């Protein structure tokens, strides 16, 4: 299990989080297995930090976001947000804790009630969690509209009267209504036109500076994550493969899966771009209902060793601040048991080329 203890106090501490969805089959609907969407992941998010969570679709990253906020009931594990373990809170205590943790959803069209006006949508959390009078609520709604760049004149309009980018601004304003500390941004730009994606990301960054927010930014868009995240966790088949500071990860990915994933991302630095080789992975991602016995990536890894098919590697700190779940980085295997020259050596060579 991860034993990451960064010098600053983390706002969010996730430990061994599991989210299994049961499979029932047969005449009597017997429990015959589980889809292991999230299978024991651990990480911290520091106060004011943006942690990017990346991976191919179906790797479990959105499930992590929902389990963190108890939109799903986690199967196991701890999710401590601001000192409270929200994974184990009783319903009423969870309701009281909701204001400090919010979510910005992928599809603003689907997440906004078409029958509610903009003011009603943004004011809904205030109705739920405060006893403010109408004037105080309206003042807060206007304040939020100003913060996200929506004209106050639009307060009585309905979602269908806005563009996709404006609808996402409404969703962000609603998420901010109760002054949360932590926001999960679940693919917040994926449904938007490319031309306005940067505007929404810049808005999220400005709001973070203004209100001291902490983000988990879930995305399959590695270029956008490079822009916004301080550190990045790479997920594969329900587990974290690598967790590294952003610049280190993009300059020199350590895990073979991170290497393959990032080899497809356009590299702005010409000297790094020249060295980079596109890695095409063979085969399909295994089913999360039946993951491999050993390393989850062993069926596709170009550097697979015998131990990889037998033993699941733990996420371990292999360089200061860099965590990798791979047997190439355990001292007993880096010496090249299977003919590989060892991952540490491999990466040092990569640096000196």
The region of 57-65, 139-147, 185-193, 294-302 touching ligand SF4 under the rule CB under 6 A is 294-302
> Per-residue string for binding with ligand SF4, 326-345, x by CB under 6 A?
xxx-----------------
Collapsing DSSP states into helix, strand and coil, what is residue 316?
strand
Residue 304 sits in the site that holds ligand SF4 (CB under 6 A): yes
The torsion region of residue 26 among left (phi > 0), alpha (psi -120 to 50) and beta comes to: left
Q: In whole angstroms, what is the distance from residue 212 CA to residue 49 CA? A: 9
Residue where the block lists tokens 């610049």: 247
Q: In whole angstroms, what is the distance from residue 187 CA to residue 269 CA? A: 26
Report the nearest approach of ligand SF4 to the CB of residue 326 (Å): 3
Report the nearest approach of ligand SF4 to the CB of residue 321 (Å): 20
Residue 295 sits in the site that holds ligand SF4 (CB under 6 A): yes
The region of 175-183, 226-234, 324-332, 344-352 touching ligand SF4 under the rule CB under 6 A is 324-332
Residue count, binding to ligand SF4 (CB under 6 A): 14
CB 259 within 8 A of CB 326: no
Nearer to ligand SF4, 112 or 334 (CB): 334
Report the nearest approach of ligand SF4 to the CB of residue 234 (Å): 11
Q: In whole angstroms, what is the distance from residue 289 CA to residue 308 CA? A: 19
Residue 237 sits in the site that holds ligand SF4 (CB under 6 A): no
Report the nearest approach of ligand SF4 to the CB of residue 129 (Å): 45
What values do phi and psi take at 337, rounded to 5? -60, -30
> Per-residue string for binding with ligand SF4, 113-152, x by CB under 6 A?
----------------------------------------
Residue 308 sits in the site that holds ligand SF4 (CB under 6 A): yes
Nearer to ligand SF4, 243 or 301 (CB): 301
Nearer to ligand SF4, 281 or 304 (CB): 304
Number of residues in the chain: 353
Nearer to ligand SF4, 127 or 341 (CB): 341
Q: Which two tokens stand for residue 6?
A: 């960064």
Report the nearest approach of ligand SF4 to the CB of residue 267 (Å): 22
Report the nearest approach of ligand SF4 to the CB of residue 239 (Å): 10
Residue 243 sits in the site that holds ligand SF4 (CB under 6 A): no
Residue 297 sits in the site that holds ligand SF4 (CB under 6 A): yes
Residue 59 sits in the site that holds ligand SF4 (CB under 6 A): no
Candidate residues 77, 125, 180, 313; the one interacting with ligand SF4 per rule CB under 6 A:
313
Candidate residues 220, 276, 303, 344; the one interacting with ligand SF4 per rule CB under 6 A:
303
Say if residue 251 is exposed, middle or buried (CB neighbours under 10 Å; 0-12, 13-18, 19+).
middle
The region of 22-30, 94-102, 261-269, 300-308 touching ligand SF4 under the rule CB under 6 A is 300-308
Q: In whole angstroms, what is the distance from residue 20 CA to residue 146 CA? A: 41
> Per-residue string for binding with ligand SF4, 187-226, x by CB under 6 A?
----------------------------------------
Residue where the block lists tokens 């760049």: 149
Say if residue 284 is exposed, middle or buried (CB neighbours under 10 Å; 0-12, 13-18, 19+).
exposed
Nearer to ligand SF4, 192 or 241 (CB): 241
Chain centroid, CA 58 distance in Å: 13
Q: In whole angstroms, what is the distance from residue 283 CA to residue 274 CA? A: 27
Instruction: Return the half-sphere exposure (C-beta side, CA atoms, 13 A cut-off) of residue 246.
Output: 17
Please count the other Cβ atoms lying within 10 Å of the Cβ belonging to residue 202: 12
Alpha helices by DSSP H, listed for the chain, are: 61-68, 91-97, 108-111, 118-129, 134-147, 164-176, 194-211, 222-228, 246-251, 256-262, 270-275, 331-334, 343-352
Binding interface with ligand SF4 (CB under 6 A)? 255-256, 295, 297-298, 301, 303-305, 308, 313, 326-328
């Amino acid at each position: 299990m991860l034993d990451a203890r960064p010098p600053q106090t983390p706002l969010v501490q996730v430990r061994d989080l599991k989210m299994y969805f049961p499979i029932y089959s047969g005449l009597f609907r017997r429990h015959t297995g589980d889809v292991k969407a999230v299978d024991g992941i651990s990480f911290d998010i520091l106060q004011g930090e943006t942690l990017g969570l990346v991976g191919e679709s179906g790797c479990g990253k959105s499930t992590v976001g929902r389990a963190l906020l108890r939109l799903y009931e986690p199967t196991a594990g701890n999710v401590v947000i601001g000192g409270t373990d929200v994974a184990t809170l009783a319903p009423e205590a969870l309701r009281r804790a909701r204001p400090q943790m919010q979510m910005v959803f992928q599809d603003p069209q689907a997440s906004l009630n078409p029958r509610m006006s903009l003011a009603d949508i943004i004011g809904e959390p205030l109705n739920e969690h405060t006893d403010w009078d109408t004037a105080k609520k309206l003042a807060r709604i206007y304040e939020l509209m100003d913060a996200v760049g929506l004209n106050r004149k639009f307060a009585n309009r309905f979602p269908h009267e806005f563009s996709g980018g404006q609808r996402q601004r409404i969703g962000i304003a609603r998420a901010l209504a109760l002054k949360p500390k932590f926001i999960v941004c679940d693919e917040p730009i994926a449904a938007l036109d490319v031309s306005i994606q940067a505007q929404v990301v810049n808005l999220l960054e400005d709001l973070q500076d203004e209100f001291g927010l902490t983000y988990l930014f879930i995305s399959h868009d590695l270029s956008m994550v490079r822009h916004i995240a301080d550190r990045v966790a790479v997920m594969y088949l329900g587990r974290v493969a690598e967790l590294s500071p952003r610049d280190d990860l993009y300059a020199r990915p350590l895990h073979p899966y991170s290497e393959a994933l990032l080899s497809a991302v356009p590299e702005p630095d010409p000297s790094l771009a020249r060295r980079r080789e596109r890695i095409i992975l063979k085969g399909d991602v295994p089913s999360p209902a039946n993951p491999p016995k050993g390393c989850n990536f062993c069926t596709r890894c170009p550097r697979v060793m015998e131990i990889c098919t037998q033993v699941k590697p733990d996420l371990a700190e292999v360089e200061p601040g860099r965590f990798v779940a791979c047997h190439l980085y355990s001292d007993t295997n880096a010496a090249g048991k299977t003919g590989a020259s060892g991952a540490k050596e491999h990466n040092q060579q990569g640096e000196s080329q």
